[in-house]
């Protein structure tokens, strides 16, 4: 599966690097996203290449908070599985899987706060409900 992104990569610095690795391993697995470049002080997650990075915090790079990252899903079922996996991994509910028509028709998403309070989303753009406008 190839995910088309309009950015090259993003990095979050969690308060606890090892716990965050476990959280994102579990939360992103339903989306087909996995560790593709693990290192001792950083880890790149992706499909074909790393586009989501976690880095170990230090004096120069403190923990990242209040960031919103949305991951593409290939189906509503992937969004639902992401939500369940992220909660099971220790995330906190920030919006259960549903159509978010305030954004646009066909926007099916779920939102979870990660272990550091960052808003992590999985979104599927349902072509069956998109308007022709």
Q: Are 32 and 132 in contact (CB under 8 A)?
A: no
Place of tokens 């915090």: 57
d(CA 48, CA 77): 22
Model pLDDT, residue 130? 63
How many angstroms separate the first and last alpha carbons of the chain?
Answer: 29
Closest CA to 110 of 47, 56, 46, 30: 30
Contacts of 118 (CB under 8 A, 6+ apart): 12, 64, 65, 66, 67, 68, 69
Model pLDDT, residue 6? 59
| 10-56+66-125 CATH choice from 3.10.180.10, 3.30.365.10, 3.40.50.12140, 3.30.200.210 | 3.10.180.10
Model pLDDT, residue 4? 57
Question: What is the full per-residue pLDDT of the chain (133 aa) written as tens digits?
Answer: 555 555 789 999 999 999 999 999 999 999 999 999 999 899 999 998 999 999 999 999 999 999 999 999 999 999 999 999 999 999 999 999 999 999 989 999 999 999 999 999 999 999 888 655 4
Domain ranges of the chain: 10-56+66-125
**Residue 39, class by beta-carbon neighbours within 10 Å (0-12 exposed, 13-18 middle, 19+ buried)?**
exposed
């Amino acid at each position: 599966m190839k995910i088309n992104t309009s950015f090259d990569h993003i990095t979050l610095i969690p308060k606890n690097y090892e716990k965050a690795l476990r959280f994102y391993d579990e939360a992103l697995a339903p989306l087909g996203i996995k560790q593709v470049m693990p290192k001792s002080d950083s880890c790149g997650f992706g499909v074909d290449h790393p586009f989501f990075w976690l880095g170990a915090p230090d004096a120069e790079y403190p923990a990242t908070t209040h960031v919103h990252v949305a991951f593409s899903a290939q189906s509503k079922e992937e969004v639902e599985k992401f939500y369940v996996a992220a909660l099971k991994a220790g995330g906190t509910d920030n919006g259960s899987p549903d159509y978010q028509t305030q954004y646009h028709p066909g926007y099916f998403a779920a939102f979870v706060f990660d272990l550091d309070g960052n808003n992590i989303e999985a979104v599927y753009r349902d072509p069956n409900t998109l308007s022709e406008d």
